Amino acid sequence: MPTFEHLSCPIDRLPLSLQERSLVCAHGHSFDIAKSGYINLLPVQNKRSKDPGDSKDMVSYRQFFLNLGHYFPVVKNIIDQWPDDFTGSAACRILDAGCGEGYYLHHLADEFKKQELKTHRLGLDISKWAVAAASKRDKETTWIVGSNASLPMPDACLDVVLCLFGFPVFSEFHRTLSERGYLLLVESGEDHLIELRQILYPSIHPFKETHSSGVDGFKLVKESSLHYPFTLNSQDEIQHLLCMTPHIHKASYEGKEAVKKLSTLNLTANINFRWYQKTIVGDHNAE
């Protein structure tokens, strides 16, 4: 059963308490828990569109592709690099900010269990389709529809924020992380899916490093990369990958037609991992 600790009202930030199948704040703002167990904490006034985030189709394409297991090395890398500060009796409070359909947090939970590491896991995404899918996949994590732009959580309530291929909002990550809490950014590297991009585009834009000048309020403590080959063995698999990426909207008609002719595709996964630690005012080790 998920628990609903570490959540606050998205309208006035007051604590939320469980009343039957709703979470309610002292001002009477009430949020129903869905049948599959997730909670929608994205009020209409915080939505920029009627159906924000990834569409139902994109979520199912991503779920199909991720379940093929080609990105499981991402889970392994996160576990291998996990900070060793959290081995005590208190559960490590983790937020996956922009969790999609929950693939990574779910597999991380399995690995944490194997290592007997206690965790309290929250997965948040702005797409209700993604969160609904995640809540069917894993019943022990708290799944939330919400926005990174205004996290429905009190200050300093988290130990680790994960942002995987997502949309980081550093001020909110900083606010919700505890003193010396960690932020992990996982992003595509220069060669990521290069073979697919070479088919889709007449020329490839030069790679731009993100946040190369640092991230306000955080210091970089660890960096690593994965670079490995994998193969898609059918047109169906290739289309699922294409449709879960922004390339489906950006690529030319000719590029997409060329991809439709393939029955197999050898690809490179190139993924960068950056662990940051929250710095506090007056910390002389801070950058």
Among 8, 40, 60, 127, binds ligand SAM (CB under 6 A): 127
Among 130, 185, 238, 269, binds ligand SAM (CB under 6 A): 130
Residues sharing a CB contact under 8 Å with residue 230, sequence separation 6 or more, in sequence order: 70, 266, 267, 269
Q: Does 148 bind ligand SAM (CB under 6 A)?
A: yes
Q: Does 100 bind ligand SAM (CB under 6 A)?
A: yes
Q: Does 166 bind ligand SAM (CB under 6 A)?
A: yes
Q: What DSSP element (H or E) covers 266?
A: strand 265-278
Q: 3-class SS at 17?
A: strand
For 23, list phi and psi in degrees, rounded to 5: -110, 135
For 39, list phi and psi in degrees, rounded to 5: -125, 135
CB of residue 163 vs ligand SAM: minimum separation in angstroms?
A: 8
Residue 107 or 278 with smaller CB distance to ligand SAM: 107
Token reading at 260: 């439709």
Among 38, 61, 65, 103, binds ligand SAM (CB under 6 A): 103
Binding-site size, ligand SAM (CB under 6 A): 18
Among 4, 165, 201, 230, binds ligand SAM (CB under 6 A): 165
Is 219 within 8 Å of 183 (Cβ atoms)? no
**Other beta carbons within 10 Å of 230:** 14
The Cα 24–Cα 15 span in angstroms is: 8
Residue 193 DSSP code: T
Among 126, 161, 184, 215, binds ligand SAM (CB under 6 A): 126
Residue 14 DSSP code: -
Among 54, 138, 159, 237, binds ligand SAM (CB under 6 A): 54
Edge-to-edge strand list for the sheet holding 22-24: 17-19, 22-24, 30-32
Among 25, 75, 95, 125, binds ligand SAM (CB under 6 A): 125
Place of tokens 């595509």: 188
Applying CB under 6 A, which part among 145-153, 199-207, 256-264, 277-285 lies near ligand SAM? 145-153
Q: 3-class SS at 224?
A: strand
Residue 101 or 159 with smaller CB distance to ligand SAM: 101
Q: Binding to ligand SAM (CB under 6 A): which residues in 183-212?
A: none
CB of residue 130 vs ligand SAM: minimum separation in angstroms?
A: 4
Among 37, 98, 123, 181, binds ligand SAM (CB under 6 A): 98
Query: Which residues of the chain form contacts with ligand SAM (CB under 6 A)?
Result: 53-54, 62, 98-100, 103, 125-127, 130, 147-149, 164-167
